[in-house]
Amino acid sequence: MKRIKMGCTTLSIPAMALGIMRMNQKSVPEAQVAIQAAYDAGINFIDSADIYGGGKSEEIFGQAFSQMRIKREEMFIQSKTGIVPGKRYDFSKEHILHSVDEILERMQLDYLDSLVLHRPDALMDPEEVAEAFDQLQAAGKVRFFGVSNFDTAQFKLLQSCLSQRLMFNQLQFSLKHTGMIDFGMHMNMVDKPSVDRDSQFLDYASLHKVTVQAWSPFQYGMFEGAFIDNDGFPKLNQELQKLADKYEVGKNAIAAAWILRHPANIQMLVGSMNPQHIRDSAKGAKIRLTRQEWYDLYLAAGNYLP
């Protein structure tokens, strides 16, 4: 498994993480199979959130992982907080501290390697968040911190009040969600791809050594479904299959290789609980697409160059 530097540190993490959003749909033995498949492929990074399955995903993970032979220190375990489903976003100190205690209990852990704030809270008080982070770190409950779906200004605002460096920003990125790179190639134009919806965060991340974690790497839209083997995207799947045949892997690996080819050292979140899909996706970390192959996939996905 390809390894990348975590944020501004010298610590290395795998270029892929296993997202456990759907683990609530699995039995404990099935969850163990998925975790083991990821671990065997070099993916020793887990990404969770307190809202996944209403907390059930973390409960299943905790039960599964506690019975496995993998040592805790061999895994990097991350969770997210800040969403109160259907009610509000909440970055209050009280909510953050309470959520972490509940996460640790569900996952049967003494600490999290990383805590990520899930979606921007319009009422965020950066100094209050800083107090929560300091308390969690001093108590040994969280080692590192990050955010998810933050724009550049939001990221900089929060960072200005923290004593810790933010390591991560989770952002949607895939062959069918390419906004973070479209506008750069359509600079000084008035067409739709020229609109910057991501406040140039990918460039900011490269400049300031922030690890971008790409979520929904095989999805189109928000949660409409997968584009791989989807009849709605024949040209893209034809190109994926052509390269899959060349590199002797599955389409998942090629779609993953496309993300990891970007020089920003992106970490990709694999959200599948299917051991075969996990193993195939992991193979993408070993493939370095040529520039032409990368652009061929970009164009096959329905994008165009000015």
Q: In 3-state terms, what secondary structure has residue 247?
A: helix
Exposed, middle or buried, 161 (CB in 10 Å: 0-12/13-18/19+)?
Answer: middle
CA-based end-to-end distance of the chain: 35
Q: Which of 52, 204, 220, 298 is an active site residue?
A: 52
Exposed, middle or buried, 241 (CB in 10 Å: 0-12/13-18/19+)?
Answer: middle
- C-alpha of 212 from chain center: 7
Written as six digits, the tokens of 285 are 């970390």
Euclidean distance between CA atoms 1 and 281, whole angstroms: 11
Euclidean distance between CA atoms 260 and 154, whole angstroms: 25
Closest C-alpha among 187, 242, 205 to residue 5:
205
- The answer to whether residue 52 is catalytic is yes
Compute CA distances 13 → 6, 16, 32, whole Å: 6, 8, 21
Q: What is the DSSP string of 61-111?
A: HHHHHHTSSS-GGG-EEEEEE-EETTTEE---HHHHHHHHHHHHHHHT-S-
Catalytic residue numbers read 52
